[in-house]
Structure 1
Amino acid sequence: MPVRAENLPVTAAAGDPSPPPDLVVTGRYDQGPGYRVHRPRGSASWLFTFTTGGHGLLRQGGARTRAGAGDLVVLAPGTAHRYAVAPGAERWRFWWAHCGARPSWTPWLAPYALADGLYAVPSAPAAPHERIAVAFARMLTDRGAARGPDPVVVADGFPARELALCALEEAVLLAVSGAGATPCGPRDDPRVRRAEELIAADPGAPHTVRSLAESVALSPSRFTHLFTLRTGRSPMRALREARLRHAARLLRGTDLTVERVAAASGFPSPHHFSRIFRERYGMPPGAYRAGERR
């Protein structure tokens, strides 16, 4: 079922669908004990949370982190996750946003990766917490929903989506800069950048860990380690995300059949492509194309 503003739950709960990555869905929650969400198959989109009070407990795969005031915790799509008011906490007050993350954000978050797809940027005295909260709030006010105890808004289509992403990008940059990270810090590696460029230039090519490693003169194991260290995700996760973004662009901008979109995006079969695409975007490729052209 397509996830749009009219069928998003006011408060997420176990079993609720996550928003697809082509939307930016933002909200502010103030939850008490008992609030919890569990997505055994993960989310279709990235989830950004910024805690302003109380404590939350977030888990991604086998890793977990406790979030307190000033902490930014990010969950990448595709891995089982759960989050809740932390045990013993009276409240968890937090901003949140579901969206498709810009590729440039993962190197900024990489120094704070706890596992493949779980990033915890800690609060720091130098971090401009108020400015981060204002950046999240701007995503609400830009959509005319600044009031209410738990407001939720959806930015769908240009330019609303881009304005929301710009505000979220500011929040991410403020958080990592206050915590001491830089986009091109010691974990930056030109060989990893080259591999990312190869993936972005032609997502549909028959890339493998071995072929990407050979293109930058590294062994597969060393390449995988460096790539994951710098970007916070494995090479194959990055490749799959790039292929899904490419497929979505083809569905929006061309009249190619689903079968040809799958082949052009590097998926081994239309059936496999449709299954993966539906998991990520919440609908099959044909429905996604129809929805984009309404």
Structure 2
Amino acid sequence: MRADGLPDTAAHPDSRDAGDSGDGEDTGRSGNTGNTGDTGSTGDTGSTGNTGDGGDPAPPPGLVVLGHFDQPPGYGVNRPHGSASWLFTWTIAGRGRLWLGGARTTAGAGDLVVLAPGVPHGYAVEPGARHWQFWWVHCQARPSWVTWLRPYGTGDGMYAVTSAAAGVRGRVGAAFRRMHADARWTGTDAPPAASPPNPQVAVAHGSAARELALCALEEIVLLTTADARPAAPRPGLDARIRRAQELIDADPGAPHTVRSLAGGVALSPSRFAHLFSRQLGQSPMRALREARLRHAARLLESTDLPVERVAAASGFVSPFHFNRAFRERYGEPPGAYRTTHGDVSG
């Protein structure tokens, strides 16, 4: 544990090939739940006690799961293995604190905080706060959202978007309520009417409900990022590690290795792997794998390249490993993802 009470998230270096890694996400075990309302088996249950080494569970990938919580002091969620999906939180009242890898932030009313998958994370009521009232959503983010969120990145895949305009907050709140209603739509009759926030967790099972819910979340991301002020760069991140991130993001399909990335920033491979993992909470090869999967998703959305060429262009030597890794991350195989999310017209 660190002095501030947050877990030590340093990961061990991993020199395996990122394209061929087939490790799934370990979502951990649940301890005593500290949330209000009935969250069911896919909700963000949280804990007020000791959850054990596995941490708190997260919803499986491929689902859109959301809820509205108003939590008292002592509530917290800890996922030392991260989550297979993105997590969006929007604070209505009170204060919360969130961490992802080595990045940390506090959230007050009107703040949208987004946590990328695959990195250890957690969140809790801010010490000294009387409560934390917030919306949360687990889903697979559309790749275009990362472009809008990037100016608000604070490191490690955390994005902190601060919005002060009361008019925007009202619109965002309405979008969350509509999203909560749309997620419960069965596809028959009329969609449920948007209602005041309630503690029930909504899970969008059908494709229509899922897409409607994601459209509402896209509106939320657009509204908040258009009105917000960018977060200050995270202090303390080594310039060489930041440069390595830039090398990965600039060309995720390149045959990067720990040795080549270390050479690009003038560090020995062992020192680079240790520093990268300590500062970012994941190994260089894990970060590369996530970047390759995001790149593949963008290609599937915006091109008609065959899946095998998408895999190769994204740095995956084996189409089999690409299909397995993509399904683990996005909850569906590449072909089905393109059918659902693709924008290419014939």
Same fold (TM over 0.5): yes
Distance in 2 (CA, whole Å) between partners of 1:52 and 1:280 is 29
- Partner letter of residue 240 of structure 1? L
Q: Return the match for 1:109 from 132, 145, 149.
A: 149
Pair 35,272 (structure 1): closer, same or farther in 2 beyond 3 Å:
farther
Residue 238 of structure 1 is matched in structure 2 by: 291
**Structure 2 counterparts to residues 85-96 of structure 1, below 5 A:** 85-96=125-136
Percent identity (aligned): 54
Distance in 1 (CA, whole Å) between partners of 2:209 and 2:291 is 26
Distance in 2 (CA, whole Å) between partners of 1:41 and 1:281 is 17
Residue 156 of structure 1 is matched in structure 2 by: 205
| Alignment gaps of 5+ in structure 2 | 1-23, 28-38, 185-191, 231-245, 258-262, 266-286, 301-306, 337-346
Please report the TM-score for the alignment, with normalisation by the length of structure 1.
0.66
Pair 100,281 (structure 1): closer, same or farther in 2 beyond 3 Å:
closer
Please report the TM-score for the alignment, with normalisation by the length of structure 2.
0.57
Distance in 2 (CA, whole Å) between partners of 1:102 and 1:69 is 25
| TM-superposed deviation, 1:282 | 7.9
| TM-superposed deviation, 1:243 | 4.4
Pair 220,174 (structure 1): closer, same or farther in 2 beyond 3 Å:
farther
Distance in 2 (CA, whole Å) between partners of 1:50 and 1:159 is 24
The reply on whether 1:7 has 2:54 as its aligned counterpart is: no
**Structure 2 counterparts to residues 39-188 of structure 1, below 5 A:** 39-125=79-165, 128-142=168-182, 143=184, 144=192, 146=195, 149-180=198-229
Pair 268,38 (structure 1): closer, same or farther in 2 beyond 3 Å:
farther
| TM-superposed deviation, 1:52 | 0.4
- Partner SS for 2:148: helix
Pair 114,148 (structure 1): closer, same or farther in 2 beyond 3 Å:
closer
- Partner letter of residue 128 of structure 1? V
Residue 239 of structure 2 is matched in structure 1 by: none
Cα pair 2:64 2:210 within 8 Å, conserved: yes
Kindly report the root-mean-square deviation, in angstroms, between the aligned alpha carbons of the 2 structures: 4.1
- Partner letter of residue 254 of structure 2? H
Pair 266,20 (structure 1): closer, same or farther in 2 beyond 3 Å:
farther
- Partner letter of residue 79 of structure 1? V
| Alignment gaps of 5+ in structure 1 | 182-191, 200-205, 211-218, 222-233, 248-253, 289-294
- Partner letter of residue 290 of structure 2? R
| TM-superposed deviation, 1:207 | 3.1
- Partner SS for 1:33: coil
- Partner letter of residue 38 of structure 1? N
Distance in 1 (CA, whole Å) between partners of 2:86 and 2:145 is 11
Distance in 2 (CA, whole Å) between partners of 1:87 and 1:278 is 38
- Partner letter of residue 207 of structure 2? F
More helix, by proportion: 1
